[in-house]
Chains A and B, each alone.
Chain A
Amino acid sequence: MNVSAAETVDLSRDHPRPLGGGPDEDARVLWRVARLSLRYPWRTGMGLASALAAAGFQVLVPQYFGQAVDHAHRLLGADGRAEAESALLITALMLLGASLARGLFTMAHNYLGEDVGQRIGYALRLQYYEKLQRLSFAFHDRVHSGDLMTRGMLDLEGVRMFVNTVLMRAALLVFLIGLGAALVLSSHLQLGLLSLSYAPFVAWRTSIVHLTLRRSWLLLQEKLSVVSRIMEENMGGVRVVRAFAAQPHEMAKFDQASDAALALAKRRIGSRVRESTAMSLAFYGAMGLVLWFGGQAVLAGEISIGKLAEILAFMTILQTPVRQIGLLINGSSRAATCGARLFEVLDLPSEVADRPGAAALRPGIGVLRFEDVSFTYPGQARPALDGVSLEVRPGHALGIVGPPGSGKSTIAHLIPRFYDPTAGRITLDGQDIKWVTLASLRHAVGVVQQDAFLFKAPIDANIAYGDPWADRARIADASGAAQLHDFVARLPHGYDTLVGERGVSLSGGQRQRLTIARTVLLAPSVVVFDDSTASVDAATESRIHAAIKALAKTRAVVIISHRLGTLMRADEIVFLDGGRIVERGSHAELMAAGGRYQALFDLQAHGR
């Protein structure tokens, strides 16, 4: 059961490790999942015991049934009518009792299996959530969020369901088939064997079928997702489609994809139906044999008619469970795939963490220094930063500008220690940030990110994201400093307005200012504005200027931007290229120097 390449993403690019490495690996993963259920020994034990009891009563039902037939038959026409009637009554009560008991134990077995599975799912979900929170930016850069969602939803489900759809059901099947087989074989060996003759064939076919159906199901999902993508892109790009009058082309694309999906779906149905018909015929063939030989045995007086009825009833009871063997195989294969993917994340070490012996940052005025700092992203050959030295102090603003890939954003990532420098050191108030706790460092450093993320929550909760205990007055202060308050005050629900996905949609500039407010609320001593690709309109830009200017009076401020309007008023401006500082100085100095900064300024301000 190899994991298909499409299903896996290599998480650790530095140490690639094969996934789903054959049966051994699968068995290891399944054993690990099975062990999870041992954390709930009482429930698991009770579930297994219930399975045994349910199987026992299930098998008893056809037995009592056969008994009743025999009573009726044996006493047919005989004298002891009262005796016969009471025997029938007793059998009827036993039948009722067995039926009820079977129901109760089946319920207990199903419930406990689900219960253990849900508890495992709950524990894994918390563990997964916590792990993702602690994994570094480098990890989140590398692994697509959709992939992480799939692992946290579908793979987790696959693992959770292993307990009740595979382990518990397997136990029930083993008990049921074992008890039933023992019973029929002991009562009549030949008939017993005949009644079970279909089972190996069906078990074999159903296992094969489920595996192939699963493979083709994955393939079908892929084909269907192509259809969805074509429809989605068609609608998302409706203007392009119509402007180029490309509707016929689009319909052709759609037809090709949807016909391919339809053909596969039809093939799947075909193979499913063929197999299930073959399995039914095998079952009924066995039943016919039992009827033929059983009838003769009854005629020969070898067995009673009730015995024959019992064996037939038993066959009908076992028919469904035998077919479910395929589900077990399918469930195991799914759990092995899903488990491997889920555990892969859970087993990752957190990359940036407090070093042993890290101390809290001693509070200072907020002097940030880069001393000959170099940094290379994992797996890259070229350094993103190459020997950069900088200093910012409170009341001082540093502007950083440069072409894409020059290393601007890397600086923003190194200051709060989302990554550690490969060489050189970064200090805050004289303390190497490598040796301070992350919590204290990130308290002192605020980063206003370019991709302002809004949570599905009211505006006040979004502003107070870093300090959910903040009261409304502080929130309003922060929002005022970020030039956001007037806008919020004009909203009908003010700070209680819901934003995010289905809430009020904020413009790029408003989102940006909300992120500034979020940072200001935490009163950091160093503020980093990472504005390297943000798009805000010209008027908003001037509002953001005002916000930054107010902050820069008391704090060390680093502004990273490609718009000179944003950083031309900074005290010092550095021009980065290829990870190195190529020009530095004030706006006036750089303009006088007539270098790349001046060329960029002319382009932006005069269109020349």
Chain B
Amino acid sequence: MNAPSHGAPRTGRPPRASLSALTEREDVTYGRAYDRRVVRRLAAHLAPYRGKLLLGVGAVLLHTVTQLAIPLVIKNAIDQTLAAGTESLAATIAIFAAIMLLNGSASYVQDLVVGRTAETVLRDLRRSMFAHLQRVPMAFFDKTQVGRLMSRLQGDVGALQEFLENSVLSVGELVLLFGIAGVLLWLDLWLGLLTLSVVPALFQVRVLWLPAARRAFLRSRESSAIVNGALAENINGVRTVQAMRRESVNFDLFEERARENLSAQLWSITLAQIIVPIVDALTGVAMAIVVVIGGTFVLDGRIELGVMVASMFYVQRFFDPIRALTSQYSVMQRAMASGERIFEVIDVPVAIADRPGAVELDGADASVTLEDVRFGYEPGLPVLHGVSIAIKPGETVALVGPTGSGKTSIAALVHGFYEACAGRVRVGGRDVRDVTQASLGRMVGMVPQEPFLFTGTILDNIVYARPDATRAEAEAAAQAVGAHAFIARLPLGYDTPLEQRGLNLSLGQRQLLSFARALVADTPILVLDEATASIDSFTERAIQQALARLLKGRTGIVIAHRLATIRNADRIIVLRDGHVAETGTHDELLRAEGLYAALYAMNFASFDDLPEDVAKRAVSARAAS
């Protein structure tokens, strides 16, 4: 890279310009079309609907048989009409009417039962996945992105819908295919054999065509995903695009992508359409065979005219079951892959469950004790190396320390999200492993660093932890944390719906709602992860006051970032490298001239997430002076 850049020509494709490359490959894997394990698991979910499924299959079979019968009725009508007179015609019409009624009812039952059962089974599957996710260990969520889980809950479950519906109907298609062949052979063996000779060719064409077509379809889907990705990127980054004047460069790049997409689409249309004349030609061949051979047979008196007519009707239906069955193959491949992913989630073991004999915490004792606790998220990577802390009921303790010192892990352990590898975490004097999850939830409340609100009204969110709380209780809580004023100013007050998890509120307002929620939960112990710099200093005063009200009369464990919070705590615990480095009040720690004093001397506005190297520098600077 030594070319003088300013003189470089600025035409053509800019060397460093790119537009959203395809990074998200489709999760479609074309694997086996039949996976015994997946089918067996799925069958277990179908078992409760066995009766309905049998009814559905019965209806499908009946429907297929009546469809097969129609050309035969026409054949009869023709032959009888020619032979006898009006009377037998009337009989034929009566039979036709009966068959039609059967056909109609069968198709009604079939579509209704199959469709509704499939929807119900999907609901069940989604529900059992969701219910299971409520009980998997927290570590699972640390490792798995919500987006990926959502695609399993939606995309994969959706892929099974196609499979469930089509599978039952495929039974009908299969019967139809063999039925047509059987009837043709039964009508006349030789005519039937000759006519059926095109079927293998139809199959062959379809089988040869399918892989190429599938590739083209995949490419067309990918290329439209690329184009849409590029559009999305430009919409989201439009401020940067305009500020950097990238409009025309981006337009050229986008045009390139759009052109690629156009050609991919046109190619996939070509492939989709190319099969039409081939199938029509083969159908034409079959019809020609019926006309020439059938006609000759009629002339010979070997078959009746009706047989020829019926054969023509059958020939025109050849391709439908073949198309349905070959596409069912790819539906099955997709479904097996999806099924595997779904059951993978359902199979994640449930780690923390209530132990047999778990007791209810009664809430009388609001102390928290850690006894020589060792803990790590990954084996071999310990985060806490023997931490012992005793927090008295009603005491507010500030946890302070650089990133990775173990503050968040301590909070998570108190909530019972994880199990300590060694040592004991006690809440209310009881080991958290020996108490029920529900009673622990009533004992230890939470205010997360980023306020997490749910879609619903403001009221719904405030009473989230206690849905039975009254409106008056909610308003009192909002009053106490200073949220009432802004809520009352909203046109709908407490019934204001929160859009997109409360993005229609400011961060400070969401924080106050999160406080109100914790206040309504009214837990004797509160774990509070203080918001970092994202809160405006002006809102901070209101937050500080709310904080004081919230912690009043409770045991508080505060992961503190702000000086004001730290100074107001009864005790400060300074963590470093998974150890308790210092503990004491603000003044005591300043006198001790340790890590805390060193950090304070660096005059940072906040203690939020100091990297370890800053801590090191602070200590060495302190030591040097």
Contacts and interface: CB of A to CB of B under 8 A. Distances in A.
Say if A and B assemble together.
Answer: yes
Interface of A is mostly: helix
Interface string B13-57: 011111011011000000000000000000000000000000000
Nearest to B538: A403
B540 interface: yes
A461 B16 contact: yes
Interface in A389-405: 403-404
A69 interface: yes
A422 interface: no
Contacts of B187: none
B235 to A, nearest CB: 5
A295 B299 contact: no
Interface in A492-540: 498, 501-503, 518, 522, 533-539
A89 B258 contact: no
Contacts of B269: 110-111, 114-115, 118
Interface string B190-229: 0000000000000000000000000000000000000111
B346 interface: no
Contacts of B16: 460-461, 464, 468-470, 475
B284 interface: yes
Contact of B134 (A99, A129, A247, A269): A247
B89 A137 contact: no
A347 interface: no
Contacts of B444: 243
Interface stretch (B112-120, B178-186, B375-383): B112-120
Given A85-B296, A152-B228, A237-B452, A68 B445 contact: no
Interface string A554-586: 000000001111000000000000000000000
Contacts of B296: 85, 88
B538 A145 contact: no
A198 B448 CA distance: 65
A316 B313 contact: yes
Interface stretch (B167-175, B236-244, B573-581): B236-244
Contact of A232 (B3, B150, B241, B467): B150
Contacts of B295: 68, 71-72, 84-85, 88, 92
Give the contact-size bracket for chain B.
35 or more
A148 B540 contact: no
Contacts of B501: 233, 236
A107 B467 CA distance: 61
Contacts of B391: none
Given A73-B305, A140-B238, A447-B243, A537 B610 contact: yes
Interface in B55-113: 73-74, 77-78, 81-82, 85-86, 89-90, 92-93, 96-97, 100-101, 103-105, 107-108, 111-112
Interface string A69-82: 10111011100010
A285 B277 contact: no
Interface residues of A, number: 163
A154 to B, nearest CB: 10
Given A76-B299, A471-B5, A538-B606, A235 B133 contact: yes
A330 interface: no
Contact of A276 (B111, B246, B294, B467): B111
Contact of B249 (A231, A249, A468): A468
A443 interface: yes
Contact of B605 (A121, A246, A565): A565
Contacts of B15: 468-469
A186 interface: no
A273 B123 contact: no
B438 interface: yes
A502 B23 CA distance: 7
Contacts of A288: 93, 96-97, 100
A239 B572 CA distance: 25
Contacts of A259: 123
Interface in B571-625: 603-611, 613-614
Given A404-B506, A471-B1, A110 B96 contact: no
Contacts of B511: none
Contacts of B279: 103
Interface in A258-272: 258-259, 261-262, 265-266, 269-270, 272
Interface string A211-240: 000000000000000011101111111111
A1 interface: no
Contacts of B251: 126, 129-130, 133
Contact of A133 (B146, B234, B283, B506): B234
Contacts of A239: 138, 415, 417, 446, 448, 452
B270 interface: yes
A471 B8 contact: yes
A270 B153 contact: no
Contacts of B465: 244, 246
B389 interface: no
A89 B403 CA distance: 89
Nearest to B499: A144
A588 interface: no
A592 interface: no
A244 B134 contact: no
Contacts of A603: 537, 540-541, 564
A316 B310 CA distance: 13
B603 A231 contact: no
A603 B536 CA distance: 12
A89 B288 CA distance: 8
A17 interface: no
A304 B538 CA distance: 95
Contact of B14 (A134, A249, A468): A468
A538 B266 contact: no
Interface stretch (B124-132, B474-482, B551-559): B124-132
A287 to B, nearest CB: 8
A93 B295 CA distance: 13
Contact of A231 (B8, B150, B234, B537): B150
B533 A99 contact: no
Contact of B240 (A68, A95, A100, A449): A449
Nearest to B412: A239
Given A100-B284, A456-B233, A471-B3, A137 B313 contact: no
A284 interface: yes
A258 B130 CA distance: 11
B274 to A, nearest CB: 7
A313 B18 contact: no
Given A134-B247, A149-B235, A457-B18, A238 B138 contact: yes
Given A153-B228, A466-B244, A455 B233 contact: yes
A196 interface: no
B561 to A, nearest CB: 9
Interface string B141-173: 100001001100110000000000000000000
B474 to A, nearest CB: 15
A291 B96 contact: yes
A96 B506 CA distance: 72
Contacts of B92: 291, 295
A122 B262 contact: yes
Interface in B500-559: 501, 506, 521, 527, 532-534, 536-541
Contact of B445 (A149, A243, A309, A460): A243
Interface in A103-132: 103-104, 106-107, 110-111, 114-115, 118-119, 121-122, 125-126, 128-130, 132
Nearest to A515: B240
Contacts of A118: 262, 265-266, 269
Which 3 pairs from chain A and chain B are nearest by CB? A245-B441, A103-B280, A99-B284
6 contacts: A68-B308, A240-B446, A291-B93, A465-B244, A518-B240, A563-B605
Given A244-B445, A247-B135, A563-B533, 18 more contacts: A89-B292, A96-B281, A103-B276, A103-B277, A126-B255, A237-B454, A242-B138, A254-B130, A277-B111, A281-B104, A296-B86, A418-B239, A466-B243, A468-B14, A533-B536, A537-B610, A563-B537, A607-B564
